[in-house]
Structure 1
Amino acid sequence: MHPWADVLLAEPAVDTGLMAPAGQLWSTTTDLARFAAFLIDGDDRVLHPDTVAQMRDPTSPPEATDWHIGYGLGMQLLRRDGRLLAGHTGSMPGFVATVWVSPDDALGAVVMANVTAGLSAGALAADLLQTVAEREPRIPAPWRPLPSIDPQLLDLAGPWYRGPAPYVLRPQGDGFMELAAMSGGNGTRLRPTGDGDWEGLNGYFAGERLRVHRDADGTVSHLDLGTFVFTRQPYDPTTPVPGGVDPAGWQAGSTLDQGGVGDDGGRPGVDG
């Protein structure tokens, strides 16, 4: 469209040759909306949801200060008003497009326009996501019981303690588990490794191994997640809590007011 008159000029379809993978993919808003849904939920026929989530992890070095633009694995990342958006912008002569998704809000936005320049499709798509997220609250998914579950997972389910801090371990329908802090702290989603261990997929414990320790009779005694020991009761004296457990046990009233650098029931001297 002419900038100062109501007349049009057709843009030719450009064949970019070897650069075609960088932008010569022609699509529709409907198909891009389906692609946005895939970027949120994944699809086991293509990529597991956790693999798609890993694609949203920043892989390029962030800015020294708080970053707002970055790259994951094949995805552009945008931080805006506390939300992490993932997707990509795109343009060819005569056309611009953007797909942004906000997985935490289960929302996606698609913007396409017949212009070469002068319209920020990326900003418009981000604005649409923010407007819908703020004015259309997310409807929770209906509860459904799991069709089946491994009995050994039920042995792991329920409350665990790292020192005095309560956590809960919940089996998921896809065979994974979710470790969540009940009073503030670090949690993670866990996938089975096939050898009896589990691997943290996100957050502080990403890449860490969770090992299940059992007594001679097969009863689970404690969990070890990257040297963090989780027990069924706070400071279980029968388990190898880092630093040990006071043999006097729990007492009514405090007789000690001592602090130790790095002594929080976790990795001594590392995260104190």
Structure 2
Amino acid sequence: MTTSHEDLLPGTRRALLHRVAVAQSEGRAPSLVAAVVRDGRTVWHGARTSVDGHGPDENTQYRIGSITKTFTAVLVLRLRDEGLLDLGDPLEKHLPGTGAGEATIAALLAHTGGLAAESPAPWWERTPGSLRPELADVLGERPLLHPVGRLHHYSNPGYTLLGALVEEVRGAPWEEVLRGEVLEPLGLHRTGVRPAAPHAGGWAVHPWADVLMPEPAEDLGRMAPAGQLWSTTGDLARFAVFLARGDDRVLSAASVGEMRTPAAPAEAADLASGSTYGLGMQIEHRDGRLLVGHSGSLPGFLAGLTIGVEDDIAAVALANCTSGPLMWTTAADLVRIVAEAEPRIPEPWRPLRQVDPVLLELTGQWYWGTYGFGLRLSADGLLSLEPLTGNGRRSRFRPNGDGTWTGLEGYYTGESLSIVRRPDGSVDHLDLGSFVFTRRPYDEQARVPGGVDPEGWRGIGQ
């Protein structure tokens, strides 16, 4: 069963359905459902086989596992944006007595807090959360396994602490805060901590035989902020739009952009794939494009939410099996299929409405020592600096209104660009984070730190 909007080409829709069908068949999933978002709206939905005798659709709930962590991270970023905490604060400042209080809030978000990957036995995903009523039961006698801030080590208890932090600062249960501050404003009415019909049942598929066994669906209790949620492709498609664009009712575009920015070093096993982690979001370079989002799993369920930010395409894939199809890879392939089959049409080029002669004077070639760069003024009022050759440092800069600019990306993120003038008002050089850019390589007329040899440039025999 599949339904789709007509604004994807028939060949694209068939390729999407084929990818989902392969994932379900080769992954031996009882059911698999997926959706694709482009330009802020769902443009395709597909599903294979059935749930309780009915074909699953965009309103059928599946458990989404660790995609829950991204929702929890949104709540923490909201606290930061309201000035109620700083990401550099140690947890102890706001939630004392945990035994892991030296970890900063940012480190917990990025899984660099040094905590264990799992809670102490028994296996928390397959046992009632009532067995772990207190944070001490989640953290155990030795919460920290690694030095704080030194190593990316994925930690489910770390997000339990972040959920407890939300409860402490808000004075309300995590579930209540999540519903009031994220789910309701974004219209995610089919997302919650407990399943509501129609929903899929979770299954284990025997690795050596085509037979099934139902998996328990436990309430995770204290561990809920790390993996409790149930959701649908419809709701997660809307959530993906939010993660790509922001929504001032919940979190600004700048703050969701911060979530998508690497905040943790890649683990050794992930270096080859270029995978790392932001603040509650996985980050990966695949097929020449930057992908962000999160994967999820709990016994009986697999999930993947993947966003190609530059392509403005996102995909969600959900299945009701403990192991089998790789859902992050499936969702990433859905993004790739649409991006390659129907490349994004660029916005028309338009000139500036008004030109500032001071800015126009700055455009053109500049040199950092002997490295050549080009400075360009675009119609959106931003300056962009990029190397004339190669893949060196580059960035766009936004005006601050006082004759300076601030870098927006890469090496120069947050760095200040300013014009340094001579007494007669002419431009001497550009100062970018103390680096001097001149109109000519080591311009003898500019104030270059260390000076310029008075004999100037010469041949080898001179």
Partner of residue 415, structure 2: 208
* Residue pairs, 1:132-151, within 5 angstroms: 132-146=338-352
String of CA shifts for 1:138-195, please: whole Å, max 9, x gaps: 3222224456676654454443232444322234566543211222232122344566
Partner of residue 444, structure 2: 237
| Aligned counterparts of 1:150 and 1:21: Cα–Cα separation in 2 | 51
Q: Say which structure, 1 or 2, has more relative contact order (CA 8 Å, 6+ apart).
A: 2
Letter in 2 for 1:224: D
How many angstroms does 1:201 deviate by? Answer: 3.5
Letter in 1 for 2:444: P
How many angstroms does 1:102 deviate by? Answer: 2.3
Runs of 5+ in structure 2 lacking a partner?
Answer: 1-29, 31-202
String of CA shifts for 1:215-263, please: whole Å, max 9, x gaps: 334443211113321123443322122443344556xxx51379xxxxx
How many angstroms does 1:121 deviate by? Answer: 1.1
Partner of residue 427, structure 2: 220
Are the aligned partners of 2:296 and 2:302 in contact in 1 as well (CA < 8 Å)?
A: yes
How many angstroms does 1:60 deviate by? Answer: 2.0
Are the aligned partners of 1:154 and 1:171 in contact in 2 as well (CA < 8 Å)?
A: yes
How many angstroms does 1:94 deviate by? Answer: 4.4
| Aligned counterparts of 1:28 and 1:72: Cα–Cα separation in 2 | 24
Letter in 1 for 2:296: G
Letter in 2 for 1:62: A
Partner of residue 253, structure 2: 48
Which of 163, 166, 182 is matched with 2:372 structurally?
Answer: 166
| Aligned counterparts of 2:262 and 2:272: Cα–Cα separation in 1 | 10
Select between 73-82 and 202-211 the one with higher mean Cα deviation: 202-211
- Secondary structure of 2:337's counterpart equals helix
- Secondary structure of 2:344's counterpart equals coil
Partner of residue 225, structure 2: 21
Are the aligned partners of 2:303 and 2:319 in contact in 1 as well (CA < 8 Å)?
A: yes
String of CA shifts for 1:89-142, please: whole Å, max 9, x gaps: 124554432111223433322112233433321121122233334443332222
| Aligned counterparts of 2:396 and 2:242: Cα–Cα separation in 1 | 20
How many angstroms does 1:88 deviate by? Answer: 0.5
String of CA shifts for 1:35-84, please: whole Å, max 9, x gaps: 334434445663235x5444333222323583433211111122334433
User: TM-score by structure 2 length?
Assistant: 0.46
How many angstroms does 1:7 deviate by? Answer: 8.7
Structure 1 or 2: more strand by fraction: 1
Are the aligned partners of 2:366 and 2:373 in contact in 1 as well (CA < 8 Å)?
A: yes
| Aligned counterparts of 1:174 and 1:21: Cα–Cα separation in 2 | 40
Partner of residue 394, structure 2: 187
User: TM-score by structure 1 length?
Assistant: 0.72
Structure 1 or 2: more helix by fraction: 2
Identity %: 54
Runs of 5+ in structure 1 lacking a partner?
Answer: 259-272
| Aligned counterparts of 1:17 and 1:257: Cα–Cα separation in 2 | 79
Are the aligned partners of 1:67 and 1:79 in contact in 2 as well (CA < 8 Å)?
A: no
Partner of residue 264, structure 1: none
Are the aligned partners of 1:155 and 1:220 in contact in 2 as well (CA < 8 Å)?
A: no
Are the aligned partners of 2:246 and 2:256 in contact in 1 as well (CA < 8 Å)?
A: yes
Are the aligned partners of 2:374 and 2:386 in contact in 1 as well (CA < 8 Å)?
A: yes
Are the aligned partners of 1:190 and 1:201 in contact in 2 as well (CA < 8 Å)?
A: yes
1:177 to 2:383 alignment: yes
1:99 to 2:305 alignment: yes
* Residue pairs, 1:54-69, within 5 angstroms: 54-64=258-268, 66-68=271-273, 69=275
| Aligned counterparts of 1:26 and 1:192: Cα–Cα separation in 2 | 43
Partner of residue 270, structure 1: none
Partner of residue 45, structure 2: none
CA change 1:170–1:20 in 2 (3 A) is farther
Select between 173-182 and 83-92 the one with higher mean Cα deviation: 173-182
* Residue pairs, 1:76-115, within 5 angstroms: 76-92=282-298, 94-115=300-321
